[in-house]
Amino acid sequence: MSRVAFLRPFRAPLVRKHPVASFGPFRNFSSDPSYLGDALSTDGSIETVPLAYDTHLADSEAGSKKSPILILHGLFGSKTNSRTVAKELASKLDRNVFCLDLRNFGQSPHNQRLDYPALSADVERFIIESDFAQKPILIGHSMGAKTIMALALRQPDLPKMLIPVDNAPVDLSSSSGSNSGFIKYVNQLRLSLEKYKYTNIKDVDAQLAKVEPSLPVRQFLLTNLNRGKKNDVITSKIPLDIVGEAIVKGKISSWPFDSNVSRWSQGPVMFIRGTESNYVPDEIIPEIGKYFPDFEIRDVKSGHWVISEKPKEFVDLVVEFVERKEDEL
């Protein structure tokens, strides 16, 4: 049922757990968090947009009353990326699964602001307006991972569990090369569509190949384009100017929160990371614990695109985690 409304040696699967009790309940650690701007603002001052989504229904009527799962995509992604795993999760966990298009991606509305407070605020609106029978379980990949973590810090009573996939609560905006690959994608796409006005998708692919040798990655990027009819100029589904500006300004690689101000300990968190990716290195694990004390980490032998590269391993990890934690709660 569908509705519209991105090296280290292989390690064995790793679990690191930190009991909630050692950090205490959620609370503010600073009396004046104003230096964070509106990162934690939930008074409606952040303009939100209604998100497009696909629904994958539970197998039973009873399942529709369980905690639903929300899946959020990463940069240049959309709700269609998770369709296959969403169907499996809906069946294996017998509950509704919602795949969302974040603002400026897929079929969701475009908005000039593209940062984690705004991305999170949209999802918060979706959850509140959906009026679920139980708190949802949030899954997010890369940009989507930071979005669900931001949501838990901004609206701690909304989620039941978090499953961030190959990203962590750290600011990478000053890291050398952290944005270079993504902005190259935007630049090549804009050249193809705005300057050369290509009508053949093969020409766009050839332009992308100048900066991205991986065919699967290029094919993924090309899903953001409207091919139209023969001889029609190819157009972009997403606002490349807005996305490009957000990348250049470090909005996607940033993390505008402070563990001295807010932590989330209302529920369990499972970080899934790719062993061939460098997004969640061992040295930042202490930072994870500062924000999310009740966490564990699971490793999958994959690159950054964990869900698409190893869908079976991903689904198995999610099913085991959700079933185990629901039994404990």
Up-side HSE of residue 35: CA atoms within 13 Å toward CB? Answer: 7
Active site includes 142? yes
Q: Alpha-carbon distance 10 to 212, whole Å? A: 25
Looking at 67, 142, 265, 308, which residue is catalytic? 142
Q: What is the DSSP letter of 193?
A: I
What distance separates the 2 farthest-apart alpha carbons in the chain? 63
Task: Name the residue among 152, 145, 57 with its Cα closest to residue 102.
Answer: 145
Alpha helices (runs of H) in 131-279, residue ranges in sequence order? 143-154, 180-190, 201-209, 215-222, 240-248
Looking at 56, 73, 141, 304, which residue is catalytic? 304
Active site includes 304? yes
User: Strand (E) positions, 25-183?
Assistant: 53-56, 69-72, 97-100, 137-141, 161-165
Tell me the helices (H) and strands (E) count for the chain, helix number first: 10, 10
User: Strand (E) positions, 26-158?
Assistant: 53-56, 69-72, 97-100, 137-141
Q: Alpha-carbon distance 80 to 166, whole Å? A: 19
Q: Annotated active-site positions, please?
A: 142, 304
